[in-house]
Amino acid sequence: MAIRCLVLDDEPLATDILSDYVGKVSTLDLVAVCHNAMDALVLIQQGKVDLAFVDIQMPDLTGLQFLRVVNGKCKAILTTAYQEYALNGYEYDVIDYLLKPISFERFLSSVQKAQERFHPAPDAVSVPSKELPPKNETILSARPIAAEFIFVKTEYKIIKINLTDILFIEGLKDYVSIYTPTERILSLQTMKKMEEVLPGPRFMRVHKSYIVAMDKIESIERQRIFIGKHVIPVGESYVKEFAKRIE
């Protein structure tokens, strides 16, 4: 079943681009294009929208204010020209954010995250030894000893990920995105369980939505961590502990 989409942006050029992108993806169904928040709210209240692409900076009602009003009645992907504003969207359980100008490749990556949310993949598993566990065995109850890799279930495959390849992990509710230098791997899993699996000295949770590999941090500016082209916020409740680790 196609995901019913709505595009909300006060800029016609932005809505034209996203509308064109949505039309190219067979698993998406464009319900409406709105240039003001009130028109979009009516459709969402009527239950006609599964996923909304929402611009953060709009007149009258900002994208973040819009998400507060929607209150979870549909999923959302934020669009913005300013990355620092996009980071705030994680407080509203957004699926992803798209930084303008939006490439079709990046759009498809975001759509994949949405599809994972609507059609969750199996759990991630961690294997401390060379043998795979029995099919019905739960693995994430304890941290493996001296493990140098984890196995992650995604869709219909089990992928081995070396711990040295992990840049950071991004969590959104019940699934995680594991970022490596070459790919992003999605798996249904909680951040809490990922913390239990990953070795503490090498990894640290710095935000309710992020775990970082300490040796991959390139620089820190105020409460932002830079890993390659990625900018990761440090949550207020994690600042002191993170500062101690850095020292």
- Report the length, in residues, of the chain: 247
Respond yes or no on whether the N-terminal peptide bond of residue 181 is cis (omega within 30° of 0): no
User: Percent helix, strand and coil across the chain, each rounded to 5?
Assistant: 30, 30, 35
pLDDT at 75 over 80: yes
Is there a contact between 5 and 49 (Cβ–Cβ < 8 Å)?
yes
Query: For the chain, how far is it from start to end, CA to CA, in angstroms?
Result: 51
- The pLDDT value recorded for residue 145 is 40
- Give the domains, in start order, of the chain with CATH numbers: 3-118 (3.40.50.2300), 149-213 (2.40.50.1020)
Is there a contact between 228 and 219 (Cβ–Cβ < 8 Å)?
no
- The pLDDT value recorded for residue 133 is 42
Pick the more confident residue, 4 or 67: 4
Tens of pLDDT along 131-141? 444 433 333 33
Tens of pLDDT along 1-57? 789 999 999 999 999 999 999 999 888 999 999 999 999 999 999 999 999 999 988
Contacts of residues 144-150 at CB distance under 8 Å and 24 or more positions apart, as own/partner, are 144/197, 147/199, 150/124, 150/125, 150/126, 150/197, 150/198
Predicted TM-score (pTM) of this structure: 0.52
**How many CB atoms sit inside 10 A of residue 175's CB?**
22
71: alpha, beta or left, given left = phi > 0 and alpha = psi -120 to 50?
A: left
**How many CB atoms sit inside 10 A of residue 170's CB?**
22
